[in-house]
Amino acid sequence: MAVSSSRVRWAVVLVFALALSACGGGAEGPSKDDRATVEAILRSDAALGRAVSPFNLCLPEDLACYRRAAPKLIAVVEEERERVSRALAETDNACLRKAGGAYDRVLEAYEGAGQAGVAGDAEAVGAALSRSSEREIAFLDQFGECGFSQGRLAEISAAMRAVNADVIRIVEELVACERVACIEETTRRLQATAREGRARIDELAAEIEREEGVPACIAPVFALMRQSFTALEQTAVAVREGKAEGAEHEGLRADELRAQAAEDLAACLGTAG
């Protein structure tokens, strides 16, 4: 149910941090091609998140739901693989190319989930979604090595990477919960991690404001990311209280806010440099 709707695409937060540092310019900043690659991944993340979100709302026993949502997911994976592949072909940054390979493995896992959904195989869907979570974390680690920031900004980006990985792992645990005590404990941890994510966004905003050459279009993106973490926190509360409708609503809202932030940041990044 709505527990799994929160499962998707928290990788955007790390890409968000790196892209913001890319907006700062400076002698050690990324090239135009590097920024274009990050922009492509942000746009891809938004599209993929929107395709996965309804798919993840399907109950394991509702195979018709999987079959309805799966074709769109598969089509989006194919489109996004092409988008990111084109961007990677234009960059000579070896680290970004390696990160692109890690991102392709994320796409591959979601493609597998879509194919399993078409086949009506709920067990295979679950296994593929778990693989996507593992690969999200691997992508975070690889992308983190390509940071263009230094000093405090690099420290905050590392902290955000840890928050990302925690959200992914906690949601995986929550999806597997079978007892009330497990749901209680896991949702409280998810709440705390969402609050930490919001605090990291505030830290990043304060640090970015000190950078020269950052476009004004960044500020509204911060607001969207704060709201997405708040929606994630509210999702956790609704799940713990057994409010299925509220959990589904807030989970979808968190996904959409995150996707909109990614799209807006991609557009903003395109104005930098």
What are the C-alpha distances in Å from 48 to residues 33, 166, 260?
Answer: 22, 21, 12
The pLDDT of residue 38: 85
Q: Reply yes or no on whether the pLDDT at 18 is more than 50.
A: yes
Q: Reply yes or no on whether the pLDDT at 144 is more than 90.
A: no
**Per-residue DSSP letter, 273:** -
pLDDT band for position 268 (cuts 50, 70, 90): confident
The predicted-structure confidence for 119-133, as pLDDT tens digits, reads as follows 999 899 989 988 988
- Which residues fall within 8 angstroms of residue 87, CB to CB, at 6 or more apart? 36, 37, 39, 40, 41, 100
What is the pLDDT averaged over residues 175-198? 94
What is the pLDDT averaged over residues 84-96? 90
252-61-235 Cα angle (round to 5): 25
The pLDDT of residue 114: 95
Is residue 174 within 8 Å of residue 133, measured between CB atoms?
A: no
Which segment, 135-144, 158-167, 195-204, is predicted with the most confidence on average?
Answer: 195-204
What is the pLDDT averaged over residues 150-169? 80
The pLDDT of residue 189: 96
Q: Reply yes or no on whether the pLDDT at 7 is more than 70.
A: no
The pLDDT of residue 21: 52
- Other CB atoms within 10 Å distance of the CB of residue 101: 12
| Euclidean distance between CA atoms 193 and 170, whole angstroms | 9
Percent of all residues in the chain with a pLDDT value above 70, rounded to a whole number: 87
Helices (H), the chain: 2-5, 12-23, 32-56, 63-89, 94-119, 122-144, 151-176, 180-208, 218-240, 244-269
What is the pLDDT averaged over residues 78-102? 92
233-134-80 Cα angle (round to 5): 90
- Other CB atoms within 10 Å distance of the CB of residue 71: 13
CA torsion sign, 173 to 256 to 76 to 104? negative
The predicted-structure confidence for 20-76, as pLDDT tens digits, reads as follows 555 544 445 567 778 888 889 889 988 998 998 888 888 888 999 999 999 999 999
The pLDDT of residue 31: 72
Residue 200, Cα to own-chain centre: how many angstroms? Answer: 15
Q: Between 38 and 144, whose confidence is greater?
A: 38
The pLDDT of residue 272: 62
- Which residues fall within 8 angstroms of residue 177, CB to CB, at 6 or more apart? 3, 183, 186
**Per-residue DSSP letter, 211:** S
pLDDT band for position 149 (cuts 50, 70, 90): low
The predicted-structure confidence for 237-257, as pLDDT tens digits, reads as follows 999 999 988 988 998 898 889
